[in-house]
Amino acid sequence: MKKIVISTGGGDAPGLNAVIYAVVHSCYKRGWEVYGSRSGYGGFLDIDDMKRLTLKEVAGIYSMGGTILGSTNKGNPFSKPVENLAGEIQVVDMSDRILSNFNRMGFDCHIAIGGDGSLEIANRFAEKGMPVIGVPKTIDNDLQETDRTFGFDTAVSTATEALDKLHSTAKSHDRVMVVEVMGRDSGWIALYSGISGGADVILIPEIPFDMEEVCEKIADNDLHGKQYSIVVVAEGAVTKDGQIFNKGGGELGREEVVLGGVGEYVASEIRKRTEKDTRSLVLGHLQRGGSPTTFDRLLALRFGAAAVRLVQENIFGQMVALANSKMVAVPLADAIKARKKVNLDSDKVLTAQDIGICLGDSEGKWREF
């Protein structure tokens, strides 16, 4: 008999519930018990937030968006802001308390479902002696060591569907529509949805952009009788002279950074430089919502079942991953070393160029790839 605890951390992503479903069912088959910790590590600090997960609890959840356990991208337990008796906020390290409660509750393994931030925390617990297995989640697809994270496919589908809808209104008004999509410092969502959704311009963080080139593409469209254009901008895109768009004011690469605003910037520059009627919109959290696509569902179910197989083999400190269509285990520490960027020599980038999409810089250094 084993006793497993699952947590979901960071921003939610479609497929979280499918992982929970697969873990609970795989454990049930083996006669093991499963608990869910609410809002990340909440259940290790307050027993009311530790919930037994039975088959009844997870019935039908594999197709639901969000997470039945709740999630947070605030309150790293290694540096958690806590209000003291004097009403002051103090940063406290709760990790020892969490670890001793984990042991006291008699758990054999913690299955941590998260993106780079949550898996970095999970890895720190692994280093302290907690048996941990990571499951790669994020719509951004920016985790190393796995070909895909679950949630990404759904986000791309949502963005592509939005682009499809924008074509008709853009065409009716001869307008330029600028769409800002998520993805933090990686351009995966922008690139995949932009190519699939017929964008004329795709701007990603990996290729700092030049407004001159963006406007040239729009002028070229006009010249060839296509009076409207669709521009997809990743929230983390930067200008050639290094301007970034951070509403949060925090340090880049850290959680407190709230990216946003680049879409409106690009739209206002287009308006100024081309005098075309231009509108911008931010897809925002729509990309995180809704049911997971079949691809994400299946991937999430496979990840959950694979995680339980690792527990059975007593293999810990690993993350389940997708490599060449197969389920594999990779060291958690390797997965969080750096964020995965769009590889500029990939055929997707070449495809974008070949079908005439402007990537914001036709001459830059990235072309050496």
Laid out side by side, the sheet with 176-181 consists of 201-203, 229-234, 176-181, 278-282
Nearer to ligand F6P, 159 or 344 (CB): 159
Considering only the stretches 21-29, 136-144, 293-301, 309-317, report the one whose residues sit in contact with ligand F6P under the rule CB under 6 A.
Answer: 136-144
- Of the residues 116, 140, 210, 361, only one is catalytic, namely 140
Decide: is 138 part of the binding site for ligand F6P (CB under 6 A): yes
Considering only the stretches 137-145, 167-175, 334-342, 357-365, report the one whose residues sit in contact with ligand F6P under the rule CB under 6 A.
Answer: 137-145
Site for ligand F6P in 34-93 (CB under 6 A): 73
What is the DSSP-derived secondary structure letter of residue 317? S
277: three-class secondary structure by DSSP: coil
Q: Contact, 189 vs 156, CB < 8 A?
A: yes
Round to whole Å and give the CA distance between 172 and 157.
24
Binding mask 226-245 for ligand F6P (x = CB under 6 A): ---------x----------
Q: Is 140 a catalytic residue?
A: yes
Q: Which residues touch 43 (CB under 8 Å, ≥6 apart)?
A: 5, 7, 35, 36, 37, 49, 50, 51
Binding mask 279-298 for ligand F6P (x = CB under 6 A): ---------x----------
What is the DSSP-derived secondary structure letter of residue 10? S
> Which residue in the shown chain puts its C-beta closest to ligand F6P?
182
Round to whole Å and give the CA distance between 264 and 28.
50
Round to whole Å and give the CA distance between 302 and 297.
8
Round to whole Å and give the CA distance between 320 and 145.
9
Nearer to ligand F6P, 297 or 339 (CB): 339
17: three-class secondary structure by DSSP: helix
Round to whole Å and give the CA distance between 70 and 173.
42
Decide: is 184 part of the binding site for ligand F6P (CB under 6 A): yes
Considering only the stretches 34-42, 45-53, 123-131, 132-140, report the one whose residues sit in contact with ligand F6P under the rule CB under 6 A.
Answer: 132-140
Among 4, 5, 6, 11, binds ligand F6P (CB under 6 A): 11
Among 98, 214, 230, 259, binds ligand F6P (CB under 6 A): 259
Q: Contact, 278 vs 178, CB < 8 A?
A: yes
CB atoms within 10 A of CB 53: 23
Smallest separation, CB 58 to ligand F6P (Å) = 24
Site size for ligand F6P, by CB under 6 A? 12
Among 140, 153, 180, 200, binds ligand F6P (CB under 6 A): 140
Q: What are the CA-CA distances from residue 61 to residues 114, 158, 308 (Å)? A: 18, 20, 18
Nearer to ligand F6P, 12 or 33 (CB): 12
Nearer to ligand F6P, 42 or 183 (CB): 183
Contact residues for ligand F6P, defined by CB under 6 A:
11, 73, 115, 138-140, 182-184, 235, 259, 288
Catalytic residues: 140
